[in-house]
Each structure stands twice: as structure tokens, then as C-alpha cells.
Amino acid sequence: MIHEEKKVGNIIEELTMFFFSVGAEHIQTGIDRQGNQVVITMESDYAPDREYGLHRLKEYLNEPKNDSVEDIYWELAGSGDPGESSQLLLVGMMLDRADVVMEPGKVKLKLYKELMM
């Protein structure tokens, strides 16, 4: 099972680095595990002059889940340059669902991931 927890860690790492790449100074992360489902919550600010880096975040995180890609490439999450669209697409393919709320100067994420038992 630790394999599945590492995937969750990689998702959080990739998104944390993404938020740093858009000028975040305050990032909050939460993990709530209930049985075989994990809900990751993140809230971050961003620099106003880097808002352009957020324009496709919702789209990327809501890519259709792809179990075969996840099984092969999950270890690559967090290995590229922060904010690379390919990294965010990979994270999106690892998630079951992503709720993204954009507010002026702030982003809130609620990410759902079913753990494989």
C-alpha cells in the first residue's frame, strides 16, 4: 500500500512546486484519508504578474484518469520544471476528480484520488 501513498506525495510535491513557480508565499496542504479514498486540499496565493500560469490549471487537473499511464509514469511527477504543462497533465491523469476555485490572488484545490488496494 505504501506505493499508493507515494503517489499522493508526488501529487502534493508537484503542485507545491507549481505554486512556487507562480509566486506563492503561502501554501496550505491537507490530506484526509477515508478508507481507500484520499482527499487532498490545497490553498495558495500567487503573484498577480504570474496569473497567466494558472489559466489552464483546472483543465489539466481534470484530465481523464488513466490508470495505465499512472502505473507507468507516476514516479515522474515532480521531476520536471515547476509548472510544466506535462507535469500538471500527469497529475491530472492520476486524479479521479479535481475541484478548482480561482479567486483574485488565491487558488483553492480539492483533489480526489481512489487508492488501489
Whether the pLDDT of residue 69 is over 90: the answer is no
pLDDT band for 87, please (50, 70, 90 cuts).
confident
pLDDT band for 35, please (50, 70, 90 cuts).
very high
Residue with cell 509548472: 83
Whether the pLDDT of residue 1 is over 70: the answer is no
- pLDDT, position 6: 87
Whether the pLDDT of residue 105 is over 90: the answer is yes
Dist. CA 25–CA 56, nearest whole Å: 21
Q: Which grid cell is 87?
A: 507535469
CA dihedral for 51, 25, 18, 34, sign (positive or negative)? negative
**Domains in the chain and their CATH numbers?**
2-114 (3.30.565)
Dist. CA 52–CA 61, nearest whole Å: 16
pLDDT band for 55, please (50, 70, 90 cuts).
confident
If one compares 6 and 31, the residue with the highest pLDDT of the two is: 31
- pLDDT, position 40: 98
Q: Chain-wide mean pLDDT for the chain?
A: 87
pLDDT band for 90, please (50, 70, 90 cuts).
confident
